[in-house]
Amino acid sequence: MAEPEREHFRKLERMYGSAPINDYFTPRLHIEEGTAILTMQVRNDFFHAANAVHGSVYFKALDDATFFAAQSLVTDIFVLTVSFTIYFLRPISRGEMKAVGRVVHRSKRLLVVEGELFDREGRLIGRGSGTFMPSRVPLSPEIGYR
């Protein structure tokens, strides 16, 4: 892999880490070409009334992993989520969540990315797919891309 690509991935990871929402969720993100892996520790303050992680946390993990898999292939402008479909397959109430996003299709104006969400035992607990498109917002230090 070329050094400019590697630097693009690290800049995206830093951009992700600088987003204020991640101060609350404290996820970790690793990006490679067309792929992103997000891990997040399960906490009780993520729970709904039945003592398992709320679906909004599943969505955040899957959307972030799929978004950054798409963004890994676009080096000049920010991509936007156009649509996202999620399937909740199994509850989780302890351990770590791991979301893996992989680009499965790319055209000039659209990227389609599949995501899988696993518990610490490697069981599939959720799936999602998103479509993403380039915006007009440049990747720049002003949005944390440094």
- Residue 106 vs residues 5, 31, 67, 89, 128: alpha-carbon distances, Å: 18, 17, 13, 27, 17
Q: Fold for 3-143, please state it.
A: Thiol Ester Dehydrase; Chain A (3.10.129)
pLDDT score, position 3: 85
Residue 2 pLDDT level (bands cut at 50, 70, 90): confident
Query: Is 89 a residue whose pLDDT tops 90?
Result: yes
Rg (CA), the chain: 15
CB 72 within 8 A of CB 31: yes
Residue 132 pLDDT level (bands cut at 50, 70, 90): very high
Query: Is 66 a residue whose pLDDT tops 90?
Result: yes
Within 21-110, strands assigned E span: 28-32, 35-41, 77-88, 96-106
Helices (H), 26-74: 55-71
What is the domain partition of the chain in residue ranges?
A: 3-143
Mean pLDDT of 130-136: 97
Give the integer Cα–Cα distance in Å for 60 and 84: 11
Query: Is 1 a residue whose pLDDT tops 80?
Result: no
pLDDT score, position 107: 96
Tokens of 111: 């990227």
Mean pLDDT of 67-93: 98
Query: Is 40 a residue whose pLDDT tops 90?
Result: yes
Mean pLDDT of 78-97: 98
